[in-house]
Every structure is written in structure tokens, then in C-alpha cells.
Amino acid sequence: MLELPAIYAENIHRWLPELLYYSITTLKIAAVSFLLSVAIGMVFALLRISKVRLLRAFAVGYIEVARGLPIVVLLYIVYFVPPQLFPELDWRWFDDFTGAVVGLGLHGGAILAEVFRSGIEALHKGQREAAVSLGMTPAQSMAYILMPQAARIVLPPAGNYAIGLLKDTSLCSLIGVNELMNDAKSIAFADYQPMAVFVLVAAIYFAMSYPLSLAVRYMEGRLNVSR
């Protein structure tokens, strides 16, 4: 343990630039799969509250399965199963990055669907009617009355999901995506310095996720004022 500073002093100029370079891939995976999760989450939140029973059942089934599967298993299923199920199609475009983003997106979509649903359900119909009857346009009532109320419910859990997602990108190394974790593994074993490298990588993940969690806490504080 005492040698760690000496090890860092000797190697950090080689390790850090490379690890930071692959952190960009990690952030890219997180960002794209977050956007995909939001899109999938919106669709399934609407299906989940649909008046058509079949659509509702479909949404519930999807949410249960995508949330019940370990993320690694979901990643393996998304990345390895479709090409074998439909071998007649062309799968050359389906690389590990795409597989990772789709897998994380499907998982996040299920989580955000429930978050969005609770946001939508919290909006009482009377709120909109009251706003319109006060002379607001529908757009104004959306911007000043409905959205602020929904945001209060949706933003903190969506932010917490984003933090979890950032950490979950490390699982993409298991299907072979060249991101931070995968690069850390190759450096650690090439240089025989697992302790030093993995502790450094932990610090890099922390540096990325901690500001996010501070932001979520700030949001929780700000959005809670009127409660």
C-alpha cells in the first residue's frame, strides 16, 4: 500500500492520458444510452397508461422483464442472440458499441417508463383546466403549471438513474467494448499493477459520477421547496 504513491509517480504520465481517452468512450456510451432510455421510457410510459388493455399488458411485461434481468445478462442477450436468431439478415453494422447502447437503453427504458408514468399520473386534470380558465394558453399552462409539477417528480429519480447508468457502462467491457474498464484491465495486466490501476480507475469513475450526484441532490433540494 505504501508503494502506491511511488508507483503513480512513475507511471501516471503513461496511464492517465490513455484512461482519460477511454473515459470519453464511457461518457459516449452513457450519453447515447441515456437518450435511448428517455425515448423508450416515454413510449412505454404512454403504453403503460393506455386505455387499450393489450398495450398496457405489453408494457407491463416489457418493464418487468427488462428490470428483472441483470444488466450483464441483458447485454449478452442483446449482443449475441439476435444475429443467431436471424442469421439470414446482415449484422455487420451491429458492433459491440451498438449492442452496449441498445442493451443499456432497453434496461433504462424500463426504469424511466415507471418514472415518467408517476410524473404523468401526478398531473391532475384540474390543473390544466384551472390554468386555461385563468386565461393561459395551453402552451403557457404546460410551461408554467404542468411541467414544473411533473419535473419535481421526474427529475430526481431520472438523475439517479443517470448516475447508475454511468457506473453500469463498466459492464460493457464484459461484451468487449473498448471503454474505460476494458482499457484498465489491459493496462493493469500488461504492467502487473492491478491495485494501482484499478484504484485509479475507481477514482476516475468517482470523478465522473460525484458531480452528477451533487447535481441531483441540489435538484432535490431546489424542487422540494414548495412541499
Partner 1 sequence: MGFWQILEVRGWYFLTTLLGGLPATVLVALGAIAFALVFGLVIALLRMSSWRLVRVLAIVYVEFFRGTPALVQLFVIYFGFPDVGFQPSPFQAAIIGLGLNGSAYLSEIYRAGIESIHRGQMEAALSLGMTPLRAMRYIVLPQAIRTMLPPITNLSIILLKDTAIVFAVGVVEVMALARNLVTETLQSAAIYLIAGVIYLCITIPMSRLAARLERQRQAWQ
Point out which residues bind partner 1 (CB under 8 A).
1, 64-65, 67-74, 76-77, 80-81, 84-85, 163, 167-168, 170-171, 173-174, 181, 184-185, 188, 193-196, 198-199, 201-202, 205-206, 209-210, 213
**Distance, CA of 59 to CA of 54 (rounded, Å):** 9
Q: Please identify, using beta-carbon distances, which residue of 11 and 209 lies nearer to partner 1.
A: 209
Provide, rounded to whole angstroms, the least separation between the CB of residue 1 and partner 1.
5
Q: How far is the CB of 83 from partner 1 (least distance, A)?
A: 8
The torsion angle over the Cα atoms of residues 201, 203, 208 and 210, rounded to 10 degrees, is 150
Residue 118: CB minimum distance to partner 1, A: 14
What Cα–Cα distance (Å) separates residue 159 from each residue in 40, 133, 214? 16, 34, 10
**E-only strand ranges, 28-144:** none
In three-state secondary structure terms, 60 is helix
| Residues 113, 58 contacting (CB under 8 angstroms) | no
Q: Closest distance between partner 1 and the C-beta of residue 148, in Å?
A: 26
**Own/partner pairs for 92-97, CB < 8 Å, 24+ apart?**
96/172, 96/175, 96/176, 96/177, 97/25, 97/29, 97/177
Instruction: Closer to partner 1 by CB, 127 or 160: give it.
Output: 160
> What's the closest the beta carbon of residue 79 comes to partner 1, in angstroms?
9
Closest to partner 1 by CB, 41 or 103: 103
| CB of 28 or CB of 185, closer to partner 1 | 185
In terms of CB distance, is 20 or 195 closer to partner 1?
195
CB 191 → partner 1: shortest distance, Å?
12
Residue 175 C-alpha cell reads as 461484451
Of 30 and 146, CB closest to partner 1: 30
How many Cβ atoms are within 10 Å of 107's Cβ, its own excluded? 25
